[in-house]
A and B are shown apart, each in its own frame.
Chain A
Amino acid sequence: QSVLTQPPSASGTPGQRVTISCSGSGSNIGSNTVNWYRQLPGTAPKLLIYTNSQRPSGVPDRFSGSKSATSASLAISGLQSDDEADYYCATWDDSLSGWVFGGGTKLTVL
């Protein structure tokens, strides 16, 4: 059971907008910034969004992040076939004194 709750799967058709949610609590998302990582099968995770809504250089503006209270969201607009991947949210948890990751959301482009 993950401390951060993500839907196990999400899907959309090319060109659509999809949103992936990440629900936590006051000791994690409620108190700290959220990062999002993307992982293709058999590869290392890659930073997608940091500090709730910032995009690293090279990440297209189709990807956006937001945070409100104890929840965060990742939105992907203009869905493309190569967006198929696993997406993870992560943040620091003050009560656990450690990093916590969501359970991951597998995105399928139909």
Chain B
Amino acid sequence: EPEVTQTPSHQVTQMGQEVILRCVPISNHLYFYWYRQILGQKVEFLVSFYNNEISEKSEIFDDQFSVERPDGSNFTLKIRSTKLEDSAMYFCASSEFLAGSTDTQYFGPGTRLTVL
């Protein structure tokens, strides 16, 4: 069964460093998402992406964050200058475009980001 994959599974970085989290969505999916979950808290939406553009972003997704689909298979989340409070699990999700219907979002296993 197709699945969303994410790398790395765990990333440790120093405060102020740039990190790139990578995701490979399910191959025929066209909508991509990033969510995050701070330890012990709810899963929070960050951004959605379609047709090489951000379609929606939350207030969490400030100028330090960016997303990109650099090729036909990868979808990345970049944090330009990490802060301690960026420590969280980051989940990528993707969904298929169904004309006249809706999607179901499928999630990857997550990347645990630890900022020291």
> Do A and B truly interact?
no
Using a CB–CB distance below 8 Å, which chain A residues touch chain B? none
